[in-house]
Chains A and B, each alone.
Chain A
């Protein structure tokens, strides 16, 4: 075989997009007849395979460098280190302290709203911007009263006891266990909106937002229930916390819906988050 590439222009023309059908056919015919061309073409293809290997390795090295740079910035730990924002408390035991904390928070929140521009915060700070623990606790207590106060004659007692148990675990703040209890229940009753909602909320409380999205999204399918307003709100927050372009698109859509819902409890918050997300 000739030591230099004798046919490189012909080969590259054949492989290029600009080569016509006739040119391609002519090359293929020549390939059958010309042994030197056939050998050089085969070698050319192997050389391309080697170049691709080397190019891929170089790209891998470059990506590793970028990964290292981002690691130094702590970029990859941002979601994992997100603080648990809404810690549930036992409302029956600590109503007084709750009132004091709520009053203090209200002052801080109002001051915060007045002083802070939405665009300058991190996602975690934006998530912590509003305190919704009272709304969430009210809903939880309402559900607990409903499921705990059942008569012996209720035909669904076993099912409802499991829900009550899961709600109690959630209220104690043991979110991994409440999630396990909720998903165990969902294995038997996959469409139960209470279990879907608290599976999602357990993950939300644990800062696992993609899993929270999965369950909260399921729980928003029932639009007329008591969970809908809160489920949609926490779903929007979970999307925000994913910190991805798709997540942001979904968060914006949901925040807009919330803002446009006259009786939503989260209208003001949604308005603020919309401004934050659009900046």
Chain B
């Protein structure tokens, strides 16, 4: 799979592309993590989160991948691992001086904040989202998370042309109703 096809398939959330990424790039990330005081399990966690960051970035309309996928993944993984080491207070065990300097000097990588903030209200929406029909979940995740176009969504689910938009609106209305009806909604969404 060449780089252009890989990027396109990653954007669309293709399992084949995810597997390809594991086969091509995991060893490189594992080598870095295990060389810097991490275990193979740490490498799996970091690789997974790195791939998620890359895919989310690729889906941003204004994002342009200016480096090779491998280079980009490596930079994100390295930054993530530095954050983790900092949390574990193990920065002194890093064998690369350059990395220590980077950790002190940089917080973000091309606008990606690696510090994840989980807000209670997002968790409430997530909980409610899971109670929608499978079809609505597919529509909402496909359109808003995977950033599929309405046309792609219609093809994927098998809707007639134009029905994707109608269905999306219905599902979003249903989600809104359920969120507002949730007992914790008033307190959290205020």
The DSSP consensus for interface residues of chain B is helix
Nearest residue in B to A1 (C-beta to C-beta)? B180
Chain B: minimal CB distance from A275 (Å): 21
The interface size bin for chain B is 35 or more
**Which of B18, B144, B177 is A48 in contact with, Cβ under 8 Å?**
B144
The reply to whether the CB of B114 lies closer than 8 angstroms to some CB of chain A is no
Q: How far is the CA of A48 from the CA of B146 in the complex (A)?
A: 12
Would B22 and A247 count as touching, CB distance under 8 A? Answer: no
The reply to whether the CB of A76 lies closer than 8 angstroms to some CB of chain B is yes
> Which residues of chain A are within 8 angstroms of B27 by Cβ–Cβ distance?
79, 242-244
- A: number of interface residues (CB 8 Å): 42
The reply to whether the CB of B31 lies closer than 8 angstroms to some CB of chain A is yes
Would A53 and B118 count as touching, CB distance under 8 A? Answer: yes
Would B18 and A63 count as touching, CB distance under 8 A? Answer: yes
> Which residues of chain A are within 8 angstroms of B140 by Cβ–Cβ distance?
51
Q: How far is the CA of A245 from the CA of B130 in the complex (A)?
A: 39
The reply to whether the CB of B62 lies closer than 8 angstroms to some CB of chain A is yes
Interface residues of B in 100-130 (CB under 8 A from A): 118-119, 121-126, 128-130
Chain B: minimal CB distance from A33 (Å): 21
Interface residues of B in 36-67 (CB under 8 A from A): 40, 44, 48, 51-52, 55-56, 61-62
Q: Contacts A46-B122, A53-B126, A66-B15; is A246 near B55 (CB within 8 Å)?
A: no
Would A53 and B122 count as touching, CB distance under 8 A? Answer: yes
Q: How far is the CA of A56 from the CA of B123 in the complex (A)?
A: 12
Chain B: minimal CB distance from A7 (Å): 11
The reply to whether the CB of A260 lies closer than 8 angstroms to some CB of chain B is no
Nearest residue in B to A40 (C-beta to C-beta)? B176
Nearest residue in B to A49 (C-beta to C-beta)? B122
Interface residues of B in 1-28 (CB under 8 A from A): 13, 15, 18-19, 22-28
Q: How far is the CA of A56 from the CA of B40 in the complex (A)?
A: 22
Q: How far is the CA of A69 from the CA of B19 in the complex (A)?
A: 9
Q: Contacts A50-B122, A66-B19, A67-B22; is A4 near B176 (CB within 8 Å)?
A: yes
List residues of chain B with CB under 8 Å of any chain A CB: 13, 15, 18-19, 22-28, 30-32, 35, 40, 44, 48, 51-52, 55-56, 61-62, 68, 70-71, 118-119, 121-126, 128-130, 137, 140-141, 144-146, 169, 172-173, 175-177, 179-180, 189
